[in-house]
Amino acid sequence: MFDVLIIGGGVSSVSCALVLGSAQKKAFAQDKNIAIITHQKASSLQDAIFYNAYGVKSGKLGSEILTESTAQLQENYPHITQIENEKVISVSGESGNFIVTTNKNSYKTRIIVIGIGSSNLFLISGLEQYLEPHKKSLAEKNRIQLKNNDQKVAEGIYVVGTLAGHRSQFSIAAGSGAAVATDILTLWNNGIETHIHDSIR
C-alpha cells in the first residue's frame, strides 16, 4: 500500500515527488511510502527547448530534463519508488483505499496525484466524471482538465499541471506539483501548514 501514488513523469509530477521526497526527515513523513509512475510517452517536454524558465540553463532541451529529473529524484530520494514503462488504465476505490491498475500491475494507494497532461485522449477509466473542457486553453485545441478546487479533485485525488487547468508553462507546472506536495505534507502534519526548504545554515 502506497501513501501517495503519482501518475505522470513530467514537470508537475516529478516536482511533486521531489518535494514529498525532501520531507523524509520530518517525523510526519519519514514512514510514508511514495511512488511515481513515470510513463510519459507524449510529454510536450520531448519537443521543448528552454530560454525563459527560471533556473534552467538557456538552450536546455526538454528531453534532457525528462531523464535528468527522474535521475535527480533517484539520487536524492531513493526511498521513492519509480515505476517505469507502465501505463495507467483505471482508478477505482475511495480515499484511503484506491486501486490504480496499469497495463502490467495493480497498486493500492491512499492518495492519488494525477499529472499526465491535458490531451483530450485522456484514457483513465474511473475518472471520466471529472472531465471538463480546459478553461485556459483555446477551444479549438480540445484540451481537457479535471474538475478541481485548488487542485483537489475529490477526497484523496489531486491533479497537477495542465490537467489541473493551468497553462502550459514550465514554471507553472513545477509550482503546481510543489503546491500539491505541500498540501499533502500539511495533511500528514495534522493540518498544520507545512513547506520544506533545504538550507546551508
Comparing C-alpha atoms, which of 49, 48, 50, 56 is closest to residue 15? 56
**Res. 41: pLDDT tops 80:** no
Helix axes 11-22, 170-188, angle to 10 degrees: 40
- When pLDDT is averaged across residues 83-88 and rounded to a whole number, the result is 93
Q: Is the pLDDT of residue 47 over 90?
A: no
Q: What percent of the chain has pLDDT over 90?
A: 82
Give φ, ψ of 186 to 5 degrees. Answer: -65, -40
Which residues does residue 114 pair with via DSSP β-bridges, in sequence order?
A: 7, 159
E-only strand ranges, the chain: 2-7, 34-37, 49-50, 60-61, 81-83, 88-94, 97-102, 106-114, 131-133, 144-146, 152-154, 157-159
Residues 6+ apart with CB under 8 A from 36: 5, 6, 7, 8, 9, 13, 14, 17, 73, 80, 81, 82, 83
115 touches 12 (CB < 8 A): yes
Mean pLDDT value across residues 82-96: 95
Higher pLDDT: 175 or 197? It is 175
Contact indicator for 122, 168 with CB cutoff of 8 Å: no
User: Given pLDDT bands bounded at 50, 70 and 90, which one contains residue 117?
Assistant: confident
Q: Is the pLDDT of residue 76 over 80?
A: yes
pLDDT at 141: 85
* pTM (predicted TM-score): 0.95
